[in-house]
C-alpha cells in the first residue's frame, strides 16, 4: 500500500512542477538580503496602466519556486514602509539591484526598530549590483 502512495505522490509532484515551470519568471535577477533594489511594477487603475518604482532594502525572502516572495523596506517621511512582492508576479516588470549591503543574517527584521543613520548598511562590493 505504501508503494502505491509513493508513486502517486511522485506523479502528482511532477505534474505540479510542470504546471509551475510555465509561470516561473526565468528573467528574475540575482539579488540578496541587504541589497538595495529598484522594483518596477505595473499598477492598473481603472482602464489606465502605469509603472511605479519602489526603491528600498531587501529585508527578507520567503518561499521556493512559484511561491517565492521578497520584502522591501524603505523610509518615507520618517515612517517605515514595507512591501511584499511575489518574485514571479506578471505585474513586476523589472528588479534592478542598485547596491549591496554587508549583512550576516537571513532576515533583517531588526532594521524595523532603527531610525536615521542606524538603518544604513555597510556597502559590500559585489558583482551583481550596478555600483561596484
Judge whether residue 2 has pLDDT over 60: no
CA distance 44 to 32: 28
Judge whether residue 23 has pLDDT over 80: no
- Mean pLDDT calculated for residue range 74-96: 93
Judge whether residue 4 has pLDDT over 50: yes
- 27-119, what's its fold? SH3 type barrels. (2.30.30)
* Residue 70 φ/ψ region, left for φ over 0, alpha for ψ in the -120 to 50 degree band, beta for the rest: beta
Phi, psi of 16 (to 5 degrees): -65, -40
Q: Where are the beta strands (DSSP E) in the chain?
A: 36-45, 48-62, 69-76, 79-86, 92-99
Judge whether residue 78 has pLDDT over 50: yes
CA distance 53 to 70: 15
Phi, psi of 89 (to 5 degrees): -70, 140
Confidence of residue 97 (pLDDT cuts 50, 70, 90): very high
Residues 6+ apart with CB under 8 A from 25: 87, 88, 89, 92
| For the chain, domain boundaries | 27-119
Which has the higher per-residue pLDDT, 21 or 37?
A: 37
Which has the higher per-residue pLDDT, 108 or 131?
A: 108
pTM, two decimals, is 0.82
Amino acid at each position: 500500500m505504501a508503494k502505491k502512495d509513493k508513486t502517486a505522490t511522485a506523479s502528482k509532484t511532477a505534474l505540479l512542477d510542470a504546471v509551475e515551470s510555465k509561470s516561473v519568471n526565468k528573467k528574475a535577477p540575482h539579488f540578496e538580503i541587504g541589497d538595495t533594489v529598484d522594483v518596477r511594477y505595473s499598477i492598473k487603475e481603472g482602464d489606465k496602466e502605469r509603472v511605479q518604482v519602489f526603491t528600498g532594502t531587501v529585508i527578507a525572502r520567503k518561499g521556493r519556486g512559484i511561491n517565492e516572495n521578497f520584502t522591501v523596506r524603505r523610509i518615507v517621511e520618517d515612517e517605515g514602509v514595507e512591501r511584499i512582492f511575489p518574485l514571479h508576479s506578471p505585474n513586476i516588470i523589472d528588479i534592478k539591484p542598485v547596491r549591496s549591503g554587508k549583512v550576516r543574517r537571513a532576515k533583517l527584521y531588526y532594521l524595523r526598530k532603527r531610525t536615521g543613520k542606524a538603518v544604513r548598511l555597510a556597502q559590500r562590493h559585489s558583482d551583481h549590483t550596478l555600483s561596484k
